[in-house]
């Protein structure tokens, strides 16, 4: 029973401490000073970034270069080539759509003959921690039209590396900073005053209205930085993927030597003569580190590789079972993530038709697997979903993308195409209506 | 074993002695929490709960969904709302939305639990404020903030007194913009809702910035969407003399199409409809989501601003002819004519 008096002694010490402290250190004033410090930081960020905010149509954007490179969402600016944009305060400029990534909802505009424009630099989104304060700048409900004064909202990072389908945000930053219709394309800013994401998506329809529910998503700055050269080169950018490999989640006991769930992902199947096989990977390898990021499940794996542009070469660490030693050995290699020329050729092959989905890599000659379905596109309207395998177009059996393109030859916009699709092991019929491609692969030539 | 126990307790106490004062002071989050607690304590004395007794809704509806044909005050949950003491002798300012329409009785309950019958005086529907009067004296009134020093990003809080009149509520955020609603309001991302609207928006020193307002069932904002407004205290003081004399300002009628435009373009020049207000004029005229408005009364419109400029020349009740593009089943944009009888903008 010795501990009993000791514990009451310690609580007496705490009481004494409280009694001593509150009159001495004038807690109220100290607290107000602390809050004033934080307040100063918020003001400093607002002052630094406000001028670089851009009004684009009913949405938002942010200038990231004094020559007038403006980042926004593809769903804000992807629908037209030429834009009149306004900076905070109302000064108007002509801007041209240069590069875009529809699947990840990013677009890059260029102010024509832009010089010495206010801008903010891209920050390091991988340095973010959950709970960090972030600031969103935007134009919700177009409240800033006329006065050209954007809306500032403050919140925290709610989650990191969020993988979302359709449009496929690969590596989203989730925030509770209030973003609403009109914030799209606007910047999410860290407390260092740098852009750490482009706000693009919210969970909406509260009270039957399109308003924020405390869940907003931004495309991270590090992903955007990697895509920047591709955007600036013009035209469509493509996300990376591990060509020629089928990847599975660890922890499934149907497979041996695949580790625990969360260890990484493993190669379940591999085609010869593909980047993955050339890199020395083989069936059963567990990929546990891609450029310092851990692919703890399949979504995260697709998120990591998709947040790199196609054509990038990334460092991959993997574990391979050493049968002699009866343990995993760690290896490292470099893998090419898809070929943008090939992807562009695939795009061009369907000519002027727009179907609103991207095919997955060819595998097993079973058909064309649907990778990503664009929002509101013909494929989405037809009810096509990511993961579906297209087996037939009309009466023509399609085994791969080549067959699919052949089946589309001679078809025109507005034409109805009957598809036979394999979903969850069942075949179903869908009708897709091809649309005319609205945006050319390459935009008009720049002034410079 | 006993010795071990007591030793660990002693070290624990020593650890607390060293650590507790340091971490409590250095953590800005808990500093903010304490400041906000003080704000709530200080401000809550000047915040009142308002009970409004109305006749039952003659149509027997209300309580759910946005509706453009229905009186706003039936479209909110039942229960008390919030007001703010404006003078020591019993003037109270609240959101006009809280006390509008036919009322039988208005009862005000102050922080000390006393109830008063309140008289409804004038209101200003454009600023969304109303003045109440109770017979009392020496009431606690809040100091006012210097609005010319207000800045985007300022920390602010809202104190309300609903649903429980005895439990003041606290919400905090920042000033999102200093000049909104023809410069009569500030904008905040502090959560605003049917309960705390009418309460004061205050600084971290507990000084009034304005009275929270402009939350309606039919607006897209308010109601916890992170876009809220407060009528500046200077605007209220400007309106006060005429409100005291029971004079009111009605809202001017504003022609309204009942559609929200989309953020982006659709590859065609025109105004893309993102949302059609339920039971609004646009819906009655047959407009649908994703329609592209290209012409109004023969005038070509490419942007929302151009469309709004034309609307501003019209009157409520006018019928406008719209040319729109709508996708047919094949996904091809087809031209179509639509007639819309303009309603009165509730926003």
- Could you tell me which of A347, A356, A360, A374 has the C-alpha nearest to residue A434? A356
Residue A444 lies in a domain: no
Whether residue A22 is contained in a domain is answered as no
Partner residue facing A79 (CB), from B204, B260, B266: B266
pLDDT above 70 covers a percentage of chain A that reads 84
Determine which helix (DSSP H) or strand (DSSP E) holds B25, and give its type and residue range.
helix B2-26
Residues A267 and A124 in one domain: no
> Chain B residues with CB inside 8 Å of A376's CB?
290
Buried b (16+ CB within 10 A) or exposed e, A173-201: bbbbbbbbbbbbbbbbbbbebbbbbbbbb
Kindly state whether residues A326 and A190 are assigned to the same domain.
no
Residue carrying structure tokens 């795009």: A347
Same domain, residue pair A274 and A125: no
Query: Among A80, A142, A435, whose Cβ lies nearest the Cβ of B265?
Result: A80
Same domain, A62 and A123: yes
Q: Please, how many CA atoms are within 13 Å of residue A207, restricted to the half-sphere of its CB?
A: 23
**In A191-281, beta strands by DSSP E:** 195-202, 216-220, 235-236, 245-249, 265-270
Identify the three-state secondary structure at position A382.
helix
When mean pLDDT is compared across A167-171, B37-41, B124-128, the lowest value belongs to A167-171
Q: Which of A60, A65, A74, A105 is catalytic?
A: A105
Does residue A63 lie in a domain region? yes
| A105 is a catalytic site residue | yes
pLDDT at A347 (0 to 100) = 65
Average pLDDT over residues A332-342: 89
Q: Please indicate, yes or no, whether residues A105 and A128 belong to a single structural domain of this protein.
A: yes
- Residue B6 pLDDT: 42
Q: How do residues A179-194 score in pLDDT, each as one tens digit?
A: 988 999 999 999 999 9
CA A318 to chain CA centroid, nearest Å: 25
pLDDT for A438 beyond 60: no
Closest residue in B to A156 (Cα–Cα): B173
Q: Is A412 on the interface with B (CB under 8 A)?
A: no
Task: Give contacts of A1 with chain B, Cβ < 8 Å.
Answer: 2
Tell which of A340, A358, A387 closes a domain. Answer: A340
- Shared domain for A280 and A324, answered yes or no, is yes
Residues A262 and A288 in one domain: yes
**How distant is the Cα of B152 from the closest Cα of chain A, in angstroms?**
7
Q: Rounded mean pLDDT of A129-149? A: 93
B304 contacts in A (CB within 8 Å)? 58, 142, 145
- The answer to whether the beta carbons of residues A7 and B9 sit under 8 Å apart is yes
Q: Is the pLDDT confidence value at A244 over 60?
A: yes
Chain A residues in contact with B13 by the CB 8 A cut-off are 9-11, 13-14
Domains along the sequence of chain B with CATH: 27-251 (2.40.10.120), 255-344 (2.30.42.10)
Residue A9 is assigned to a structural domain of this protein: no
Contact A174, A162 (CB under 8 A): yes
In a domain, A11, yes or no: no
User: Is pLDDT at A227 greater than 60 in this prediction?
Assistant: yes
Same domain assignment for residues A88 and A193: yes
Element (H, E) at A17: helix A3-25
Owner of token pair 């639990």:
B113
Q: Please check whether residue A29 touches B, CB under 8 A.
A: no
Candidates A184, A221, A277, A312; catalytic one = A184
Q: Which of A75, A101, A230, A302 is catalytic?
A: A75
- Domain boundary among the residues A174, A201, A234 is at A234
- Domain limits for position A252: 245-340
Between the CA of residue A104 and those of A166, A198, A341, A369, B226, what are the distances in Å?
A: 9, 11, 19, 19, 26
Q: Dihedral of the CA atoms A434, A437, A441, A445 (nearest 10)?
A: 170
Q: How far is B174 from chain A (nearest CA, A)?
A: 7
Among A284, A306, A340, the domain boundary falls at A340
On chain B, the residues whose CB falls within 8 A of the CB of A28 are 34, 38
Judge whether A333 lies within some domain. yes
Mean pLDDT of B226-230: 93
Verify whether the Cβ–Cβ distance B177 to A210 is below 8 Å: no
pLDDT over 80 (residue A205)? no
Question: Could you tell me if residue A21 is inside a domain?
Answer: no
Shared-domain flag, residues A149 and A275: no
Rounded Cα distance, A381 and B267, in Å: 18
| Contact between A51 and A118 (Cβ < 8 Å) | yes
Rounded Cα gap, residues B140 and B120, in angstroms: 20
Structure confidence at residue A3 (pLDDT): 42
Percent of chain A with pLDDT over 90: 48
Q: Domain total for chain A?
A: 3
pLDDT band at A444 (very low <50, low <70, confident <90, very high): very low
Q: Report, in angstroms and rounded to the nearest whole number, the Rg of chain A calculated over CA atoms.
A: 26
Residue pLDDT, tens place only, B83-141: 999 999 999 999 998 998 888 999 999 999 999 999 999 999 889 999 999 999 999 99
Q: Which residue has the higher pLDDT, A398 or A43?
A: A43
Identify whether the C-beta of residue A57 lies closer than 8 Å to the C-beta of residue B265. Answer: yes
| B179 Cα to chain A: minimum distance (Å) | 8
Do residues A198 and A52 share a domain?
A: yes
Token output for A347: 């795009």
Cα(B293)–Cα(A133) distance, integer angstroms = 40
Any residues with CB less than 8 A from the CB of B208 and at least 6 apart, and which?
Answer: B84, B142, B143, B144, B145, B200, B201, B202, B233
Is the bond preceding B210 in cis, omega lying within 30 degrees of 0?
no
Q: Pick from B187, B264, B329: which is nearest to A77 by CB?
A: B264
Radius of gyration of chain B (CA): 25
Tell me if A13 and B179 make a contact (CB, 8 A cut-off): no
In a domain, A10, yes or no: no
| B292 three-state secondary structure | strand
A401 pLDDT tier (thresholds 50, 70, 90):
confident
Residues B306-326 have a mean pLDDT of 89
C-alpha atoms less than 13 angstroms from C-alpha of B35 in its C-beta half-sphere? 27
Pair of tokens at residue A306? 């998709």
CA-to-CA distance for B159 and B41, rounded, in angstroms?
10
Which chain A residue lies closest to B347 (C-alpha atoms)? A141
Task: Look up residue A325 and give its DSSP letter.
Answer: T
Q: Using the beta-carbon criterion (under 8 Å), do B3 and A80 form an inter-chain contact?
A: no
A120 touches chain B (CB under 8 A): no
Separation CA B2–CA A427 (nearest Å): 72
- Contacts of residue B155 in chain A, CB cutoff 8 Å? 35, 38-39, 42
Give the count of beta carbons closer than 10 Å to the beta carbon of residue A284.
Answer: 17
Q: For residue A380, give the CATH number of its domain.
A: 2.30.42.10
- A214 shares a domain with A74: yes
Q: Helices A3-25 and B2-26 meet at what angle, rounded to 10?
A: 20
Binary contact (A210, B275; C-beta < 8 A): yes
Give the rounded percent of residues in chain B with a pLDDT score beyond 90: 53
Q: Are residues A84 and A187 in the same domain?
A: yes
Q: What is the pTM of this model?
A: 0.78
CA A60 – CA B99 distance, rounded (Å): 37
């Amino acid at each position: 029973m010795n501990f009993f008096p000791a514990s009451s002694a310690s609580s007496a010490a705490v009481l004494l401490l409280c009694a001593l402290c509150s009159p001495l250190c004038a807690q109220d004033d100290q607290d107000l000073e602390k809050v004033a410090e934080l307040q100063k930081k918020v003001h400093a960020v607002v002052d630094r970034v406000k001028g670089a905010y851009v009004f684009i149509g009913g949405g938002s954007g942010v200038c990231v270069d004094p020559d007038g490179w403006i980042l926004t969402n593809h769903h804000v600016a992807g629908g037209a080539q030429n834009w009149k944009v306004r900076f905070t305060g109302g000064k108007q400029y002509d801007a041209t759509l240069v590069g875009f990534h529809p699947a990840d909802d990013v677009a890059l505009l260029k102010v024509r003959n832009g010089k010495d424009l206010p801008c903010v630099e891209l920050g390091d989104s991988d340095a973010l921690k959950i709970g960090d304060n972030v600031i969103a700048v935007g134009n919700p409900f177009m409240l800033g039209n006329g006065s050209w004064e954007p809306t500032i909202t403050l919140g925290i990072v709610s989650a990191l590396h969020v993988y979302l389908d359709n449009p496929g945000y690969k590596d989203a930053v989730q925030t509770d900073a209030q973003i609403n219709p009109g914030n799209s394309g606007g910047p999410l800013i860290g407390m260092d005053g740098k852009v750490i994401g482009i706000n693009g998506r919210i969970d909406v329809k509260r009270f039957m209205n399109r308003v924020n529910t405390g869940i907003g998503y931004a495309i991270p700055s590090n992903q955007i930085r990697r895509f920047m050269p591709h955007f600036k080169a013009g035209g469509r950018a493509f996300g990376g993927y591990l060509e020629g490999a089928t990847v599975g989640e660890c922890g499934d006991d149907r497979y041996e030597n695949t580790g625990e769930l969360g260890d990484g992902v493993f190669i379940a199947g591999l085609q010869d003569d593909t980047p993955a096989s050339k890199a020395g990977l083989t069936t059963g390898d567990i990929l546990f580190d891609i450029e310092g990021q851990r692919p703890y499940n399949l979504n995260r794996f697709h998120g990591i590789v998709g947040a790199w542009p196609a054509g990038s070469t990334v460092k991959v660490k993997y574990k391979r079972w050493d049968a002699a030693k009866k343990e995993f050995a760690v290896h490292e290699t470099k893998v090419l993530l898809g070929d943008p020329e090939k992807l562009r050729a695939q795009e061009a092959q369907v000519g002027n038709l727009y179907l609103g989905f991207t095919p997955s890599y060819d595998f097993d000659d079973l058909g064309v697997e649907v990778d990503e379905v664009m929002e509101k596109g013909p494929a989405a309207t037809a009810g096509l979903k990511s993961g579906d395998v297209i087996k037939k177009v009309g009466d023509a059996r399609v085994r791969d993308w080549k067959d699919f393109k052949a089946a589309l030859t001679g078809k025109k916009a507005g034409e109805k195409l009957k598809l036979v699709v394999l979903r969850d092991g069942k075949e179903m019929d869908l009708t897709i209506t091809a649309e005319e491609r609205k945006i050319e692969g390459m935009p008009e030539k720049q002034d410079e | 074993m006993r010795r071990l126990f007591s030793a660990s307790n002693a070290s624990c106490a020593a650890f607390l002695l060293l650590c507790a004062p340091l971490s409590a002071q250095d953590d800005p989050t808990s500093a903010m929490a304490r400041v906000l607690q003080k704000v709530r304590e200080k401000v809550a004395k000047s915040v009142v709960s308002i009970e409004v007794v109305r006749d039952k809704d003659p149509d027997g509806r209300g309580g759910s969904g946005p509706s453009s044909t229905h009186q706003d005050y039936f479209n909110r949950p039942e229960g008390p709302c919030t007001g703010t003491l404006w003078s020591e002798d019993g003037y109270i300012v609240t959101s006009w939305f809280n006390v509008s329409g036919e009322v039988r009785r208005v009862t005000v309950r102050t922080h000390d639990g006393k109830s008063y019958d309140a008289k409804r005086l004038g209101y200003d529907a454009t600023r969304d404020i109303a003045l109440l009067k109770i017979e009392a004296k020496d009431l606690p009134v809040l100091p006012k903030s210097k609005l010319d020093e207000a800045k985007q990003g300022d920390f602010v809080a809202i104190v309300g007194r609903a649903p429980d009149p005895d439990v003041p509520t606290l919400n905090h955020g920042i000033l999102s913009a200093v000049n909104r609603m023809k410069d009569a309001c500030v904008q905040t991302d502090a959560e605003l809702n049917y309960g705390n609207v009418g309460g004061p928006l205050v600084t971290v020193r507990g000084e009034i910035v304005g009275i929270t307002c402009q939350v309606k069932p039919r607006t897209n904002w308010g109601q916890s969407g992170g876009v809220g407004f407060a009528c500046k205290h200077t605007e209220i003081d400007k309106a006060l003399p005429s409100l005291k004399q029971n004079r009111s300002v009605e809202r001017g009628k504003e022609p309204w199409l009942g559609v929200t435009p989309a953020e982006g373009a659709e590859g065609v020049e025109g105004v893309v409809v993102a949302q059609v207000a339920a039971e609004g004029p646009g819906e009655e005229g047959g407009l649908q989501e994703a329609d592209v408005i290209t012409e109004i009364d023969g005038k070509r419109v490419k942007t929302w601003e151009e469309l709004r400029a034309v609307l501003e020349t019209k009157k409520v009740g006018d019928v406008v002819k719209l040319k729109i593009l709508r996708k047919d089943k094949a996904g091809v944009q087809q031209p179509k004519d639509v007639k819309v009888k303009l309603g009165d903008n509730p926003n």
